[in-house]
Amino acid sequence: MLEKDLAYLTNLFDQAALALPASQEALANGQVLPPAKLEAPRQSSHGDLACSLAMQCAKVLRLKPREIAEQLAASVVHADRDSRGLIEAAEVAGAGFINLRLSLKAKQAVLQTMVEQGEAFGRATLGGRGKVLVEFVSANPTGPLHVGHGRQAALGDAICRLLEAAGYEVQREFYYNDAGAQIEQLTRSVQARLQGIGPDDAAFPADGYRGDYILDIAKAYQDGQSVTARQCETVTAKADPSDFEAIRQFSVTYLRNEQDLDLQAFGLAFDVYFLESSLYRDGAVDAVVQRLNQRGHCYELDEALWLRTTDFGDDKDRVMRKRDGHYTYFVPDVAYHRHKWARGFKRAINIQGSDHHGTVARVRAGLQALDEGIDLDFPDYVLHKMVTVMRGGQEVKISKRAGSYVSLRDLMDWSGDGDPQRGRDAVRFFLISRRADSEFQFDVDLALSRSDENPVYYVQYAHARICSVLRQAQQQFDWQAHRVNAQHMADLGIERLSSERELALCALLARWPSQVQEAAEQLAPHAIAFYLRELASAFHAWYNADRFLVEDQALREARLVLLGCIAQVLRQGLSLVGVSAPESM
């Protein structure tokens, strides 16, 4: 049921409890009555809503729960009858439960609300919930994006869309680890290819990158090509195999561009691309070390500089500067998150693989050691587990171009069967369809199937089916869905929607706003996928059971309104997870 209606009924129970004679005495003695809470009963046969307030009040009021329940039920029904008429009946059951059966008016009210609010239904229209920075993907520019990055991309973008729907101002940020040992390995790998050393040669760097893309970079560098990437200056290759720094700059920019193209194919754009190297260039890393030293949290041991992170909840102290004088990854991580806070983001969310679990306490401890008023739980983390790819019943582990893993581009190509949009939709929906902290098996064959078992096909097909019916209605009866407005609703016979399937669909639609809010607050886009499948299933069952374009005009138009509302929520839900809503399939 709609939140405003639920709040209204909850308030009726609270007021009824306060009005009980026994409550006056309890309140006078300093007692406090518990608030009412209405929930869907475990068994639908028990009604639409259940309330256990009578049992919660029994001890305070010193009355039997059933006696209290009888008084509350009578009072609430009477008050509602004189007001909005949402309750059809209230029954006392068991030890003192109150089960409510809602009126048809209450169940159908969602359609009026949806017509009034239009596309704003399910979204926070006031905004003002503050700024939030969401950092995700953040791949090292050392190779093509892999399926793990794909899961981050799908989760991150869906979480951003949910937060925006809930009224937050969201910034999407990609952090490039363009400094450190891995970039050195990349550069040496490209340089080896430039010198004619292959990945199977003994002279090839032991920790080098062996995918075919390294040879592509080497050829482009040798040809003197120019490359650029988002928020990056153009770099022109010097074609000199001995110029290590020139090879590094060209290789990093080349792969940043490759990753940009992968993200573009995935339908994802970031607001900010932040470079780790800028933290060193701008002195942010040195400033963090200086600040931590000033606060007295550092010490020297075995020729290394340590931070006493155990004072701030970490399980062990952390090395900041190694014997060779280089900083560990931990230090720029602290500098980067300090920078986020300084930019005015009092809430930041990091979406990373579960192998970063140790980073959580480490980074938070480092930020607390700065003693700059940064919140204890800054930043938030969503950690996801690995993805395995199945194709033809066998696990796929290696991509020829990537060398040692399946790339995101491969997965989209395989899942689209020549259709880029189809591949993108399948990958996005599949990768958010389970909790982030659960391992996921991506079945390419299932993604290609046109069956009820394929979740994205099942949901999209529901939308396409509705669009087909609405087109037929326009052709046969000149039905103009866009002309339906709040004033017109009174003449459409919505009260004719009384079958079990129709009312169940209305109930599902009424859940949509709270579903969006809950998924946003819990950073749980999988909840949207679950909801969409449930709504699609209810629609398909109705579609197979009833006819829509009947001769009875009132019934026909009422059903067309319901169809339009279902299509709207399917479209909104698919959009929240970055998936298209085709009008024909």
The identity of residue 478, as a single letter, is: D
| Distance in angstroms (rounded) separating the CA atoms of residues 357 and 347 | 19
The residue with tokens 């937050």 is 168
Q: Is the pTM of this model over 0.85?
A: yes
- Dist CA 415 CA 427 (whole Å): 7
Residue 543 is predicted with a pLDDT of: 98
Q: What is the DSSP string of 404-438?
A: SS-BHHHHHHHHHTT-HHHHHHHHHHHHHSS-TTS
How many contiguous H segments (helices) and E segments (strands) does the chain have?
21, 17
Mean pLDDT for the chain overall:
94
Averaged pLDDT for residues 507-512: 96
With bands split at pLDDT 50, 70 and 90, how would you rate the model's confidence at 42? confident
Mean pLDDT on 38-57: 93
Question: Which has more pLDDT, 210 or 71?
Answer: 71
Indicate the DSSP class of residue 535. Answer: H
Given this model, what pLDDT does residue 404 score? 67
Residue 482 scores a pLDDT above 90: no
d(CA 418, CA 424): 11
Which of 302-316, 370-384, 491-505 reaches the highest mean pLDDT?
370-384
Helices (H), 486-552: 486-489, 500-521, 526-545
- Which residues belong to CATH 3.30.1360.70 in the chain? 3-102
CA distance 269 to 256: 13
Alpha-helical regions (H) of 266-356: 276-281, 284-294, 330-342
Cα distance between residue 176 and residue 307, in whole Å: 25
CATH topology of domain 455-576: Isoleucyl-tRNA Synthetase; Domain 1 (1.10.730)
Here the tokens at position 330 are: 């931990």
* Residue 198 near residue 204 (C-beta atoms within 8 A): yes
For the residues 468-473, what does the mean pLDDT come to? 96
Least confident stretch, 180-194, 314-328, 429-443, 476-490: 476-490
User: With the C-alpha atoms ordered 238, 244, 248, 251, is the resulting torsion angle positive or negative?
Assistant: positive
DSSP-derived secondary structure for 83-106? TT--EEEEEEETTTEEEEEE-HHH
The DSSP code for 581 is -
pLDDT confidence bin for 126, thresholds 50/70/90: low
Pairing of strands 348-353, 380-384: parallel
Helix (H) or strand (E) holding 380: strand 380-384
The percent of residues above 90 in pLDDT, for the chain, comes to 87
Residue 437 CA: distances (Å) to CA of 150, 165, 364, 396, 521? 15, 23, 21, 22, 16
Quick one: pLDDT at residue 231?
Answer: 81
The beta-carbon contacts of 547-556 under 8 Å, at least 24 apart in sequence, are 548/469, 548/473, 549/469, 549/472, 549/473, 549/476, 549/477, 554/492, 554/493, 554/496, 555/493, 555/496, 556/473, 556/477
Given a contact cutoff of 8 angstroms between Cβ atoms, the answer to whether 58 and 65 are in contact is: yes
pLDDT surpassing 80 at residue 488: no
Farthest CA pair distance, the chain: 93
CATH C-level class of 3-102: alpha beta
| pLDDT, average across residues 364-388 | 96
Q: Write the pLDDT tens digit of every residue in 50-66.
A: 999 999 999 999 999 99
User: What mean pLDDT do residues 308-319 have?
Assistant: 92
Which residue spans of the chain are classified as CATH 1.10.730.10? Answer: 455-576
- The pLDDT of residue 45 is 87
Report the pLDDT value the prediction gives residue 248, as an integer from 0 to 100. 95
- pLDDT at residue 492 tops 90: no
Rg (CA), the chain: 30
Give the pLDDT mean for 322-337. 94
Q: Of the candidates 333, 336, 305, 308, which has an alpha carbon nearest to the alpha carbon of residue 319?
A: 305
401 falls in which pLDDT band (50, 70, 90)?
low
DSSP assignment of 199-257: TTSTTS-TT---SHHHHHHHHHHHTT-EE--TT---EE----TT-HHHHHHHHHHHHHH
- Going from the C-alpha of 174 to that of each of 135, 342, 366, the distances in angstroms are 6, 17, 21
pLDDT tens-digit profile of 212-263? 999 999 999 999 999 999 888 899 999 999 999 999 999 999 999 999 999 9
525-548 pLDDT per residue, tens: 999 999 999 999 999 999 999 999
